[in-house]
A and B are shown apart, each in its own frame.
Chain A
Amino acid sequence: GNSVTQMEGPVTLSEEAFLTINCTYTATGYPSLFWYVQYPGEGLQLLLKATKADDKGSNKGFEATYRKETTSFHLEKGSVQVSDSAVYFCALPSGGYQKVTFGIGTKLQVIP
């Protein structure tokens, strides 16, 4: 089945630093790719998605490009804020009955 490999954290950055969280995938065909975010004490919520190869998803200053050549969907933000402190999950449909496979999650801490 489809799978994702996500860099492990935690990642600690100073405010206004550049963020990259790596995600690579293995998939049959070209399924949609997702980044979810989990703020402390909350459930996961969709951050952004890309539905086909070469698409770029973006939201709240975050971006990720669906790259089929490198089978990657890295999350980037040019200038992080303290409020971006959260756990970030890469995900894709895992094949069959709408199941979704999530990466292990990367905890981001942004310090002032």
Chain B
Amino acid sequence: NAGVTQTPKFQVLKTGQSMTLQCAQDMNHEYMSWYRQDPGMGLRLIHYSVGAGITDQGEVPNGYNVSRSTTEDFPLRLLSAAPSQTSVYFCASSYASGDYEQYFGPGTRLTVT
């Protein structure tokens, strides 16, 4: 199993550009989520999904969009990048039952200039 994969690993955008961060998992997990990690802020939940076709907002959803058309994929779209979105982004997945142990991808480091 590849686990949770994320692409790209690094990205530089100019203010106003849009892009999609890719996330895929091969563990048949129902639950997937996106976090951003900023110094001194810990991990903050952006969006999450409990299954294909079902998404919901987390703690900091503004400026981001998601969709879940398959169980495996959960892309995160930045609609119009801003310097405040400079961060490290992590995708995670878990089963919908049990103790909710999270499996994380390696992260995408995004810089918006």
Contact = CB atoms under 8 A, between A and B. Distances in A.
Interface of A: 31-32, 34, 36, 42-46, 49, 51, 89, 91, 93, 97-100, 102-105
A43 B94 contact: no
B104 A45 contact: yes
Given A49-B99, A49-B101, A102 B106 contact: no
Interface of B: 4, 30-31, 33, 35, 40-43, 45, 48, 50, 56, 58, 90, 92, 94-96, 99-102, 104-107
B42 A43 contact: no
6 pairs of A and B residues whose beta carbons are closest in the complex: A32-B99, A43-B104, A104-B42, A98-B31, A102-B43, A44-B104
A44 B37 CA distance: 11
A42 B33 contact: no
27 contacts: A31-B99, A34-B101, A36-B102, A42-B106, A42-B107, A43-B4, A43-B90, A43-B104, A44-B102, A45-B104, A49-B99, A49-B101, A51-B99, A89-B43, A91-B102, A93-B100, A97-B56, A98-B50, A98-B94, A98-B95, A99-B45, A99-B48, A102-B42, A102-B43, A103-B42, A104-B42, A105-B43
A100 B107 CA distance: 18
Contact of B90 (A44, A49, A98, A104): A44
A59 B35 CA distance: 25
Contact of B50 (A44, A45, A97): A97
